[in-house]
Structure 1
Amino acid sequence: MPNFQSRLVKFQPLLFQAWKPQDWKLLGIAFFSGVVMSLAVAPLNWWGLAWISLVPLWIIVNGERQKTNGSMVSPTTCAIAWGIGYHGSALSWITGLHPLMWLGVPWLASIAITLFCWAFITLWGVALLVIWTGGMRLGAASWGVEHRGIGSSLFRVLLGTALWCGVETLCNLTPLAWTSISYTQSPGNLSILHLGQLSGAMTVTAAIAAVNGLLAEAWISWQSGSRDRLARFLLAIAALLFVTCHLFGYWLYRQPLNDLATSALKVGIVQGNVPTRIKLFSEGLQQAKVGYAKGYTTLIDQGAEAVLTPEGALPFLWNDRSRANSLFYQAVLDKKKVAWLGTFTAQKGGVARSLLTLNPQGESISRYDKVKLVPLGEYIPFQELLGTLIGKLTTVAENGLPGTLNQQLNTPWGQAIASICYDSAFPEVFRGQAARGGQFILTASNLDPYSEVLMAQHQAQDLMRAIETDRWAVRATNTGYSGVIDPHGRIVWRSQPQTYEIHAETIYRRQNQTGYVRWGDWLTPLLLGLATLIGGARWMQSQNT
């Protein structure tokens, strides 16, 4: 019986009925601040909120408040609440997956699938918050950073920033990545996004995390009652860092593009607006065949040198038989201009979602296969172990075949940087192609059946990739937003959603390489290395004393 009581005491924080009003208040603050962070994301893009929304969680994780107020809510529980607030709100567009009755899925099962997907991707992000919180608490216990003082405060900021960049980098190595806090600045804060030219999106993430950390440490010092001078000092550093980052980013933003007329390329875009619910059936298939062939022909007549179509524009396997019967293929033979066609190709081991370069003779001279497939949407993760269980909660009929990171999409004008839909959330897909000579970005996507929220967020991802690589980007989507973005992140043209549109725009091929393209993300290992070295030195010093 005593053993049982001791275990009950150990897990008492998990018993909601034991929580006091102040516990619920603390949890509410964490959740609400996560929701506030999500308001910085497109389409609202109230980007300024991102520079303060991490402060409450930082204070809670530090642990001082729980100790002084006797709270039973652990920092990990609050981190979970913050993660649900941020990731759950930012990713709420996933609910557009419902209804799925057009696939023969019953209404109730459609709801279950949608809620499962929403919970799955939200909890994936939450897991990263738990890792960050654990790292902060472990560092505080191991390296003695629970002490007060300027040295401890600044080290906590370094440790927290390094760990945040580390968990986001870890996330980019997994199948699910979308809600990096860096994308809260896109497209509204172009100045700070230009820091991505130094070390990629992690540069922006580090700036946001560090400013939040400094503000939190200033609050903690002020709350102690006897360290007003330290609090003011930390506030001054936070303000200086915020202003310096923006001024330097603005300087990069103001650099002239100096594009040469000889590097100009007029590219056409066809936004077919064929909803997924009909695209796979005879009505939608016919609409796609006619719409894309007509759009291609019109754009070539308007002077386009090449035409880009969305992901899966022609939703069938592209082979000799289907090509011969394709109106699009006949249009290419007639107009004798290049086309980038989004379709499907049979590869060894499965079917790939591909972007083909068709030359004036209608031949496929290069191919890019989608690298990052959507879990539960385009393949079933851990199929051998979980295929039967997950298969009941997804509409995937057949696992897709992913492409490799070392692909090259060669064109008559040099190498392009290709991306298909979900690839846009993974900067390394773009950086690698730019480092190998990619001169402009081509993104083919299908964002149906989701709302304008996803359309705006996907555009925000591509905008960041254009700045990081210093390349012009052309975006063709099925239902919107299609568009053209210049290397400074300025949207030159953007389509309206849920409409059939064609547009031709002149872009420019570029060969210069940013620091990020040359060296990749060097900032994250640097921050982690500094935190480890300084933490180790502090630990050794504490052992000697």
Structure 2
Amino acid sequence: MPLAVAVPAAVLAGLALLVAFPPYGVWPLAPVGVALLAAAAHRRRLRAGAGLGFLTGVAFFAPLLAWTNLHTGYLPWVLLSLLQAAYLALLGAATAWVSPLADRARWCWAPLTGVLWVGQEALRDRTPFGGFPWGRLAFSQGDAPLLRLAAFGGAPLVTFAVAVAGGLLLAAGWRRWDAAGLRSARWWRPVAGLTVGAVLVCAAGLLVPVGPAGGGATVTVAIVQGNVPRLGLDFNAQRQAVLDNHADATLELAARVADGTQPRPDLVVWPENASDIDPLRNRAAGARIAQAADTIGAPILVGAVLLGPGDGQVRNAGILWRPGAGPDLDQLYVKRHPVPFAEYVPLRDIARMVSKQVDRVRADFVPGSAPGVVRAGPVVLGDVICFEVAYDEVVRDTVTGGAQLLVVQTNNATFNVAEARQQLAMVRLRAVEHGRPALMASTVGVSGFVAPDGRVSDATGFNTREVVVRQLRLADGRTVATRVGLWPEVVLAGLAVAALAGAAVLRRRQRVGSA
């Protein structure tokens, strides 16, 4: 492809990927974006492939992650976007490198594209400082038939299928880009490629059954979205007001239960940061939560910031508060994957040289060590906090530990509705992946329930105070994805490495043959 065509194709690839994700949600464009990048990088030198991949990455990640600059300034957003774009630069270089394999067998483009995308995401999900899995292809497929594949191989299998669909579009629609090729090209070939790819995408997903993994009891669960006095980084400057909002909303729910207009919940879920005052050390905060729990007559899973264990350290926790008994310290989950440069600052002295904004993180959050398995009376919860929902193993560990209901406690007060909807898309994938009902509880929205087939119900508005109650059927079985764990990603990433090695061998033979 001429460079004058490849450059805009790479940019369009990033924009197509962007529009596939919430809040736009045009999921069929994800394979189109994959195909455009693969076409642009095909047969290019490594540096050119990397440059085109980087263009795609910037066009994709800069607007996708624009919510990170709402209250922290442009520098964190720019640095994060460029870092994520660098991984697509690696993907572009890898795509260029394996071109000889695709040239030997045109339909190899589909599996090659699939395994390279999985390999890129596997690397990006883990590096640096634990990785940042936002923007995985799988998370764009909330309304797509391919979401069903999550029950068999989790996010890696869904990403693989989306990228394979993109490879099929490319293989079916590719044509020669010299003058003779352009003159002889037929208009129907790209159209046929798009049609075949769309049919394959729909057929593959629609044939996969999804639903709850096993049966269980029925419980009534309430989500309390108390809202905050104002959005932004200073939302917790009025910590007492945030706590009061959630306590008052729970008391209002209790009043509706008392007059018979609302069923009594078996469990109430408050979001992350519902109490930024440590309720285990502050008697007034503890008393406020106890009042809410005792009045509603049900345990409350409280998102709280706890001081310690050391000086200058805090913990982001979900703690079960039982009516009449108070905090159950045996049912305490501490966030295992704090966000670097947001909840703790690695290499602080070096980071300060880049921006003194890092000193806004005054106390480092200490990670927990145990999965978020919380036993709350009639239901065992799989609790994860905020961005942890993006990490495969953090969620899976709760299910293998016995979780019957997935709970995502989050605080979106420093972001916007686009970020909240992107996060809810991840919850949808996790529900299908593990065959579990799930919910997301946010301070400001979007909160809501997700069925084991990925359907969302009772979704709240953004920056509003709302309480939603729903009856859920628990699940206690295991899907194929839960059983196999990391193996689909290991196998597919291994095949990506094998493809790179195979291309190296083929390139060497071609050089020897031409010598």
Q: Please indicate, yes or no, whether the TM-score normalized by the shorter chain is above 0.5.
A: yes
Structure 2, unaligned runs of 5 or more: none
Residue identity opposite 2:247 in structure 1: A
Q: Distance in 1 between matches of 2:440 and 2:220?
A: 14
**Secondary structure of the equivalent of 2:471?**
strand
Structure 1, unaligned runs of 5 or more: 1-21, 67-71, 98-112
Q: Which residue of 2 aligns with 1:104?
A: none
Residue identity opposite 1:59 in structure 2: A
1:391 aligns with 2:356: yes
Summarize the alignment of residues 63-74 of structure 1 with structure 2, pairs less than 5 Å apart.
63=43, 74=48
Q: Distance in 2 between matches of 1:240 and 1:522?
A: 29
**Secondary structure of the equivalent of 1:356?**
strand
Query: 1:245: Cα distance to partner?
Result: 4.4
- Rg larger in structure: 1
1:86 aligns with 2:49: no
Residue identity opposite 1:519 in structure 2: V
Query: 1:63: Cα distance to partner?
Result: 2.6
Residue identity opposite 2:443 in structure 1: N
Q: Distance in 1 between matches of 2:287 and 2:450?
A: 31
2:217 to 255, 263, 267: 263
1:246 to 191, 194, 202: 202
Q: Distance in 2 between matches of 1:382 and 1:423?
A: 22
CA contact (8 A) 1:27 1:73 kept: no
Summarize the alignment of residues 320-399 of structure 1 with structure 2, pairs less than 5 Å apart.
320-322=281-283, 326-349=287-310, 350-360=313-323, 361-364=325-328, 365-383=330-348, 385-392=350-357, 395-399=360-364
Q: Which residue of 1 aligns with 2:114?
A: 161
Residue identity opposite 2:125 in structure 1: N
1:518 aligns with 2:478: no
Query: 1:387: Cα distance to partner?
Result: 4.3
Q: Which residue of 2 aligns with 1:60?
A: 40
CA contact (8 A) 2:212 2:475 kept: no
Query: 1:510: Cα distance to partner?
Result: 0.3
Q: CA 1:463–1:157 in structure 2 vs 1: closer, same or farther (change >3 Å)? A: same
Q: Distance in 2 between matches of 1:534 and 1:474?
A: 39
Residue identity opposite 2:114 in structure 1: T
Query: 1:307: Cα distance to partner?
Result: 0.7
1:429 to 394, 406, 410: 394
Q: Which residue of 2 aligns with 1:420?
A: 385
**Secondary structure of the equivalent of 2:319?**
strand
Q: CA 1:85–1:523 in structure 2 vs 1: closer, same or farther (change >3 Å)? A: same
Query: 1:179: Cα distance to partner?
Result: 0.7
2:166 to 212, 218, 223: 212
Q: Distance in 2 between matches of 1:321 and 1:82?
A: 50
CA contact (8 A) 1:215 1:235 kept: no
Output one character per residue of 1:131-177: Cα deviation in whole Å (capped at 9) or x when no partner: 2123233344xxx437x34x2x2334333321210110112213322
- Provide the alpha-carbon RMSD of the alignment: 3.2
Q: Distance in 2 between matches of 1:63 and 1:339?
A: 58
**Secondary structure of the equivalent of 2:122?**
helix
TM-score under structure 2 normalisation? 0.86
Summarize the alignment of residues 46-125 of structure 1 with structure 2, pairs less than 5 Å apart.
46-63=26-43, 74-97=48-71, 113-125=72-84
1:463 aligns with 2:446: no
**Secondary structure of the equivalent of 1:354?**
strand
Query: 1:75: Cα distance to partner?
Result: 2.2
1:503 aligns with 2:468: yes
Q: Which residue of 1 aligns with 2:86?
A: 127
Residue identity opposite 2:17 in structure 1: M
Percentage of identical aligned residues: 21
Q: Distance in 2 between matches of 1:348 and 1:181?
A: 38
Q: CA 1:391–1:373 in structure 2 vs 1: closer, same or farther (change >3 Å)? A: farther
CA contact (8 A) 1:299 1:504 kept: no
Q: Which residue of 2 aligns with 1:446?
A: 411
1:306 aligns with 2:267: yes
**Secondary structure of the equivalent of 1:418?**
strand
1:411 aligns with 2:362: no
Q: Distance in 1 between matches of 2:87 and 2:187?
A: 29
**Secondary structure of the equivalent of 1:269?**
strand
1:138 aligns with 2:110: no
Q: Distance in 1 between matches of 2:98 and 2:211?
A: 44
Q: Distance in 2 between matches of 1:231 and 1:522?
A: 42
